[in-house]
Amino acid sequence: MKPPRGGSLVALYVTICSLLFIASKMLISFLLYKRWARKKRIIDNDSLAGGKMVMFRSAGNKALLHQSVSPKAFLSMLMGLSSKDVIGAGGYGTVYRLAINGGGSFAVKRLNRGTAEMERGFERELDTMGDVKHRNIVPLCGYYAAAHFNLLIYELMPNGSLDAALHHPDPACRRRPRLRWPDRFRIALGVARGLSYLHHDCIPHVIHRDIKSSNILLDHHMEPRLSDFGLATLLRNPTASHVTTVVAGTFGYLAPEYFDTGRATTKGDVYSYGVVLLELLTAKRPTDESFLENGTRLVTWVRETIEDKREDHAVDEALLLTGFPAHEVKLVFSVADRCLDSDPANRPTMAQVVKMLEQQN
């Protein structure tokens, strides 16, 4: 028998390599599918509002997946929420507190269902939001989609919002302590890191569209967590263009160019973040009545104090009592001033903001 020719050996080699390549692709696809299947538990239940519930396993909701809470029992708890469980309300819906016996609590946001066009990409967008994992972002634990409403299930942040901590502090209450400077600086840095993650590291990139103190929640360790990210995009009409007459954001925090273009951008988020920095420094809301009476704004008032080298006159009186490092306060004023530049092109990115604040540490 004649030995195989060189051409035959090459053909055999190519065939083997091709088979190995196909097998590896099939193996990778199988492993990715298994990872996806482990990521969430899907419960279909026609007896409770005819809806479907999806829970993300990787969201840290261990209590929800505990054997003592069955899927049917948890759905019954969701359907049993009432006005006595309301803990907040905003532009996107009503928020309820859901307590699990022996297993912690969750925040449940109820959204009314929109048009068929709006609902078409709803679950796809929610799955994307479930993939967002960062220590400074409130994780989406899951959702329940029914015929006339949707429920978004989040981890409950025990220390409430930054808005409450700044503007309604209760020194005698653990849940709303008066914020000292180290807390405020940590919050400023944490929010910057979370927003930088959304802008630069998320795929696809996310524009928050509604950065404000009431959308910054505080966990057990007073670490900030951004909430309501993605909801402005989630609830928009997909048939509309990115230019809309519906305001995506909150007056006092909106960048000036938004009123001209109607476009939400990352630099618009940067501007809103700058307003939050001024809130941390002054403990004044951008819509404070004192500004309205004088025909000015928080941004304008602080700018005037910076130009006159009188930043200390704008600092929250509570900080004057407890003390603060002047160089850190001056840095935060400087970062805020850059974020609030009237020209979006001159504002830093959130990644640059993080670097500026981290240099102080």
pLDDT > 70: percent of the chain: 75
Q: How far apart are CA 55 and CA 65, in angstroms?
A: 9
Report pLDDT for 171: 54
Q: How far apart are CA 274 and CA 254, in angstroms?
A: 10
Instruction: Dump pLDDT digits (tens) for 5-28.
Output: 566 777 777 788 888 878 887 777
Query: Contact at 8 Å (CB) between 95 and 86?
Result: yes
Q: Is 201 a catalytic residue?
A: no
Residue 163 pLDDT > 60, yes or no? yes
Q: Residues 210, 228, 288, 316: which is the catalytic one?
A: 210
Is it true that the peptide bond before 3 is cis, omega within 30 degrees of 0? Answer: no
* Domain layout of the chain by residue ranges: 41-155, 162-360
pLDDT > 90: percent of the chain: 35
Residue 226 pLDDT > 50, yes or no? yes
330 labeled binding residue: no
Instruction: Dump pLDDT digits (tens) for 278-318.
Output: 999 999 999 888 776 666 789 998 988 888 888 888 999 88
Selection from 197, 348, 148, 333 nearest residue 267 by Cα: 348
Selection from 212, 206, 238 nearest residue 226 by Cα: 212
Query: What fold characterizes domain 162-360?
Result: Transferase(Phosphotransferase); domain 1 (1.10.510)
Buried b (16+ CB within 10 A) or exposed e, 330-353: ebbbebbbebbbeebeebbebebb
Report pLDDT for 142: 86
Residue 239 pLDDT > 50, yes or no? no
Q: How far apart are CA 259 and CA 266, in angstroms?
A: 15
Query: Is 41-155's fold the same as 162-360's?
Result: no
Instruction: Dump pLDDT digits (tens) for 121-136.
Output: 677 677 777 778 899 9
Report pLDDT for 43: 45
Query: Contact at 8 Å (CB) between 347 and 341?
Result: yes
CATH class, range 41-155: alpha beta
Report pLDDT for 3: 53
Residue 358 pLDDT > 90, yes or no? yes
Average pLDDT over residues 160-180: 74
Q: Residue 336: pLDDT band by 50, 70, 90 thresholds?
A: very high
Highest mean pLDDT among 108-122, 240-254, 329-343: 329-343
Report pLDDT for 33: 56
Residue 63 pLDDT > 60, yes or no? no
Contacts of 118-126 with CB under 8 Å at 24 or more apart are: 118/235, 118/236, 118/237, 118/238, 120/238, 121/238, 122/150, 122/234, 123/54, 125/230, 125/233, 125/234, 126/54, 126/152, 126/234
Instruction: Dump pLDDT digits (tens) for 26-48.
Output: 777 766 655 554 444 444 444 45
Q: 0.85 cut: is pTM over it?
A: no
Q: How far apart are CA 361 and CA 351, in angstroms?
A: 16
Report pLDDT for 191: 98
Comparing 43-47, 101-105, 154-158, 160-164, the range with the smallest average pLDDT is 43-47
Report pLDDT for 7: 66
